[in-house]
Structure 1
């Protein structure tokens, strides 16, 4: 028999009533994939907080820089699409990166409604220091590179499936 455990070493309390049937057993916290993902995400954020402190970055700032290091200059809208963030969340983040001297924000000459984000020299130079971050994160997971690749592929498949489920569940707009 497989014994499921709570993320982070939590254990069920002795005051928890025993489930009456197997279906109700799925309402236990330790059976929720969403909670396991949430707990793992919080644990990742904690590790990233420590590692990125050396670079003077927060995790969301690091993600923005990853996209810019990979794609170069981008409009805010495209950057938000890559990160799955809306402009209301992204704008204050970009302002802080600009204040830190890592990016610039300029209205597009082609479309004044669009704001282009580009790395400064300092932002580009930070990439070299960031090269060790993925290795340190991989080490912290305790997984091998193949296990990490496989987990990422499963999470990408999960994201696609959940995105599709949202589209199926949303009522049609008139």
Structure 2
């Protein structure tokens, strides 16, 4: 196992643990067992304990989505940014094999603890996609509906593809959503 020298090195490990075990299931003992990092070192990097660890993971996810999805949707060529969103999201979620940790946190008792981060994740994504759709020619009301449908469709496709253990469900759903949004912007 790689020696961890920086807090940022631990965050991806924590993200995987939270994805596999959920927030409640990711006890400090399980985190130390799976990372190979002692409790003292974990508390050195995350004095606030497991909640600070989850905050760091959510912040890392937010940073990735800001750079790869939200910012391009807000500022780049609208049609290119929307097309890139489908590619980036497919890669991020590993074609449906990786759960959306933010979505998972939204569905369990963790929801209240991280409500702002969860709400911001979905709100910013919908808003950025709505703006891109409007720049691509959709009227605001239609753009809002399509943006909600797009984000909802991605999240639903993740759940369904994992439940069925069939990543082609995710891939097909993204292709269908992409065609629907592209047709609306012609």
Greater helix share, structure number: 2
TM-score normalised per structure 1: 0.27
User: Which has the greater radius of gyration?
Assistant: 1
TM-score (norm 2): 0.25
Where relative contact order (Cα < 8 A, 6+ residues apart) is larger, the structure is 2
Bigger proportion of residues as strand:
1
